[in-house]
Amino acid sequence: MTPLNPILLTLTLLLFSALALALSNLSPGCANPQPPDSPTPGAPSTHQTIDVPSAGGLRTYLLSLPLNPSHAPSPLILAFHGKGQTASQFETQTQLTDPEFRLRGSIVAFPQGVHGQWLGDPTSPPRSERDDIAFARALLKQLMQEWCVDLTRVYLVGFSNGGGLTHLLACDPEVSAHVAAAAIVSGAFYKDRSLKGDGPLFGTCNKGEAPLPILEMHGGADPVIHYDGKSTPDGETYPLTEWLGDWRERNGCAGGQSELKRDIHDGSVQKTEWWCGIGKQGAKDVVVHYYIRGFGHGWPSTKGQDDDGQRYGPVGWNGTSDIVEFLAGKWLGGGDEGGEVMEGTRDEL
């Protein structure tokens, strides 16, 4: 028998290892033929349903598929609206499915809260009555089973009460194990004593040991979720400085952390980035914060919106662009290599 060429054998093993790694990034849905009644890629978002008994039974969400789907797995974004909003209003507000801003090739799901509300708000039912974390778990599993998702590129986005839920999901061991990064705008993070409840919510976090990069944008003049955490009619929230410090610690930045602080967007925003470690072993911008000077409670964009009275907008920049850029450079188990960003910049990339 002719002995195997050791160089050829090594190359073959490397090829199979690379193939196995690539296949490990594919969700079960990548093996599914799409049914004839499935949503049309690039068409307006469609209403979908999922039955989650512990979350109130039949729940709904909007689903948007990318315009030009390829055979490659897609990034997935779960986007949670603010209190009193609908999923449709949040899609319009964020423009996450607008080709100008959309993360290239992404599947975007906009879950709908019952009565426009999520777990973590002082007026919402306790988790034992309606478990929105169970809803998010079930929805994430269903989307991975039905569609071809890149398992290393699952992201969370949330606004206000939806930002509070995004925090809770980032701290949930089942969800956070799948999440590459999260972005929150005007996050509502309530002290546990302000909540109805059957156990601590924001007062505990059970995420895994690996860093979970997180970005938060907040108006310095927010009249709803005060930057300094002072009590509102609904209850006391965490001061943003405390919340950011907690996330730096969760992401392993308790010691040896670095900080970069600078003004952006013509001085209207102070952007602060924290990262840990040195060189290739370090975790870059594991916590990022936008302090928006003079801004209120809302989603920063150049367009007028229904809540301009409390967001003190429009502003001269679009928060969605910065969020998508942040998410695009993150993947599970990876670092920051600047992935493909927005569909609207296809020709420039």
Which DSSP string corresponds to 115-146? TTB-TTSTTSPPTTT--HHHHHHHHHHHHHHH
Amino acid 327 reads: L
pTM: 0.88
Task: Please write the tens of the pLDDT for every residue from 159-178.
Answer: 999 999 999 999 999 999 99
Task: Please write the tens of the pLDDT for every residue from 65-90.
Answer: 987 655 679 999 999 999 999 999 99
Q: How far apart are CA 261 and CA 277, in angstroms?
A: 18
Residue 320 sits at the vertex; the CA angle it makes with 315 and 324, to the nearest 5 degrees, is 150
Band the pLDDT of 40: cuts 50, 70, 90: confident
Q: With CA atoms as reference, report the closest residue to 63 among 102, 34, 92, 91.
A: 91
Strand partners, 78: 109, 156
Task: Please write the tens of the pLDDT for every residue from 187-244.
Answer: 999 999 999 887 899 999 999 888 999 999 999 999 999 999 988 888 999 999 999 9
**The 181-185 sheet, strands edge to edge:** 46-52, 57-64, 107-111, 74-80, 149-159, 181-185, 214-219, 283-292, 269-276, 257-264
Task: Please write the tens of the pLDDT for every residue from 308-327.
Answer: 999 999 999 999 999 999 99
For residues 62 and 45, the answer to whether their CB atoms sit within 8 Å is yes
Band the pLDDT of 259: cuts 50, 70, 90: confident
